[in-house]
Amino acid sequence: MKIGLALGGGGVRGLAHVPVLEALDDLGIRPSIISGTSVGAIIGALYASGMSGREIRERISRYLILKDDTWQDIVAKKSDLLKWVTAFSAGLPRGGFMKTQRFIEYLFSEIKKTTFEELNIPLLVITANYWTAEEVVFEAGDLLPALQASMAVPGVFAPVSIDDKVFIDGGVVNLVPYDHLIERTDFTIAVDVSKVRNNGHQGIPGALESVFGAFNIMQTSALAEKMKHKKPDIYIQQEIQDVRMFDFGKVADIFRQAQPAADLLKKKLNGAAISGKTV
């Protein structure tokens, strides 16, 4: 059975994909193809390169100060933390955008795979052509520029030029790209990590939060419309509360909040009788 896995975008909330990957590992399920948007493309590329869900969790945890870290833990992480900060801060140009090239290169420095063809699992990376407003899917050639383009959040990360075309975050056109997998696989799993709206909040958001919030409203509306016409076999909505797009200090909380969805995925997969399936 060919199983397709689609990982959606959502900033730091995309780390909620990691427990989902760990759940697949626990069941012995290996996707035959992965599609990803923005951070979903990043996590998908790490997984497609051969890393397990647990290894991705450990790698990410090395780069961030977590809530339960002791001073000894922080000192032990010092070298990785400095490299992480340098990877971001070195790419702040005059235009006000952050560049992601150094960040992507650092995150993938130990993997030694720089093209789609080198990956263990085929990967589709979703981007948007800024000038034509079209969705563009990368699945061959250089991996890192495509990932850089897919996570180029408007207003935060600089757009990326590839072959004289300008690309931005794929979430603008396809937040959870399961539709690219339906014709290629027998069974599709889609994981949505977009912001869960809290109707109890009535306050006026700040300027940046207003931009990100409006961006999210458009994304989720487009996803809801797509779901009316074409659905994945399993759709998992991560219920990640009170985490903004770049709240990197809440990684441990994200992992904790993501666990119920990972457990639900296990239950659904066991119910679908595909537990233990490989490709």
Active site residues: 38, 169
Round to whole Å and give the CA distance between 123 and 138. Answer: 8
Instruction: Give the Å distances, CA to CA, from 64 to 44, 82, 84, 144, 244.
Output: 20, 10, 8, 22, 16
CB–CB of 236/192 below 8 Å? Answer: yes
Round to whole Å and give the CA distance between 26 and 40. Answer: 20
